[in-house]
Amino acid sequence: MEQNVHKFRIRLNLFDAIVLIVVLLAGAAFAWLSLRSGDSSGTAATSQTVRYTVVFQKMAKGDSQLIQAGDKLEDAVKNYSIGTVVSVETKPAVTQILDQEERCFVDAELAGYEDVYVTVESACTDNGETLLLGGGYDFRVGQTAYVRGPGYMGSGPVTAIERGNEG
């Protein structure tokens, strides 16, 4: 009497083959990305000082007196430290209105309002792709900054970034 011993045999249908190929490709992609991002031959993060300007637009006239050089600023949303005020400059607030006679837009001053240009200095880390302020706040030119200082809050676009000395 002969025993019935079956040999183990893998039987793959089309669906199993597709799933196996997708899993192998995903594993290869993951391995390639992890090895590539772990490469330290790229740009290393450098520490430096930056000065940037935030514009508080259409602020009530006289409120700019609250902003003083030396004020410590922080992000009003996530409480990141974003630097120290270096200088404050005010200009009349300007808006564009339609000139009915000429059929074009012209600049007109807004009575009772001013634009406040606040220059801020902060330590920053530059990794080649982004600038991170000392508290970890990622910022770029054109980005709206929500700022809180001692006794005031404001928001406005970052209009200029000057990179300083590397440290």
User: Which segments within 78-151 are labelled E, that is strand?
Assistant: 81-99, 104-126, 131-133, 138-139, 144-149
- Mean pLDDT computed over 132-150: 85
Which tokens sit at 39? 């490469």
**Does 136 score more than 80 pLDDT?**
no
**Residues 84 and 71 sit within 8 Å (Cβ to Cβ):** yes
Phi, psi for 20 (deg, rounded to 5): -60, -45
* pLDDT score at 49: 87
* pLDDT score at 69: 92
- Could you give the angle at the alpha carbon of 59 between the alpha carbons of 57 and 60, nearest 5°? 155
**Does 166 score more than 70 pLDDT?**
no
Q: What's the pLDDT tens digit per position in 23-82?
A: 999 999 999 888 876 555 555 567 788 899 999 999 899 888 999 999 999 988 888 888
- CB proximity list for 31: less than 8 A, separation 6 or greater: none
